[in-house]
Structure 1
Amino acid sequence: MSDRKGRGRHVRTGTEPVTAYSDLRLRLILSLVFVPLFLAATVVFAIWWAAADAGDTPSPAQLGWLTVGCAVLTVIAAVDLLVVARRIRRRRPPGV
């Protein structure tokens, strides 16, 4: 009995961590959705943080952390978008 099972496009060889394929189209769609979403959230939290007073809930410190967190997520999603776009370009045959 062989370990190779033909599932999907690629034959399972047992070396998937080395040769695994990710769904680039799905990652592209997710990045295109989440970059503007996280960027908008960053802007909203930054404006709210700038207008917050010491007695407000959430506190200015909490708003600051939310702003930084959204900014970090924006950068991660943007970097993933660039990586996915580069991989898609590399996968295309030359001259297309």
Structure 2
Amino acid sequence: MSDRRRPDGATEPASRARSGAIGRRLPRTGTEPVTAQSPLRLRLLLSAVFLPLFVAGAAFFGVWAADTGPGDSPGRGTLVALAAVCAAFVLLAAADLVVVAGRLRRERGAPAPH
């Protein structure tokens, strides 16, 4: 645990009472700046670009899996797995869009929708 120096030179343990969005946060241990932020506009752009691509991929692999007969290569299981992976990425990209849009709205000081 990191220690903090008091004005008199003595050390005291860092407080663990700071609460984060989920539970308690541990004290900072790295050298990153206190105001470090991820590039929100880049995340927004990447999510907006890849969301429709993953939707198209999930649909493509799903239709291909439905048309696959016995003995075809690649097999139905492989195509279903690829469709499921694309669908999982769709959910991640959509969730990231929602989170990033909310953070950008908060940064601009706009009121959140009710």
| TM-score past 0.5 threshold | yes
Higher helix content, 1 or 2: 1
Q: TM-score, normalised by structure 2?
A: 0.66
Matched with 2:65 is 49
SS of alignment partner, residue 14 of structure 1 = coil
CA separation of 1:21/1:41 partners in 2, compared to 1, >3 Å: closer, same or farther?
A: same
Matched with 2:26 is none
Runs of 4+ in structure 1 over 4 Å off: none
Indicate the RMSD between aligned Cα atoms, in angstroms: 1.8
Q: Deviations over 1:25-45 (max 9, x none)?
A: 000000000100000100000
5+ unaligned residues in a row in structure 1: which ranges?
1-12
Q: Deviations over 1:57-89 (max 9, x none)?
A: 110000010010000011001100100000000
Deviation (angstroms), 1:19: 4.1
Tell me whether 1:22 sits opposite 2:42 in the alignment. Answer: no
Higher RCO, Cα 8 Å, sep 6+: 1
Deviation (angstroms), 1:20: 2.1
CA separation of 1:73/1:94 partners in 2, compared to 1, >3 Å: closer, same or farther?
A: closer
Percent of matched pairs sharing the same residue: 46
Matched with 1:62 is 78
5+ unaligned residues in a row in structure 2: which ranges?
1-29
SS of alignment partner, residue 105 of structure 2 = helix
Deviation (angstroms), 1:54: 1.8
CA separation of 1:93/1:15 partners in 2, compared to 1, >3 Å: closer, same or farther?
A: same
Which structure: larger Rg? 2
Q: Whole-Å Cα distance in 2 between the matches of residues 88 and 70 of structure 1?
A: 26
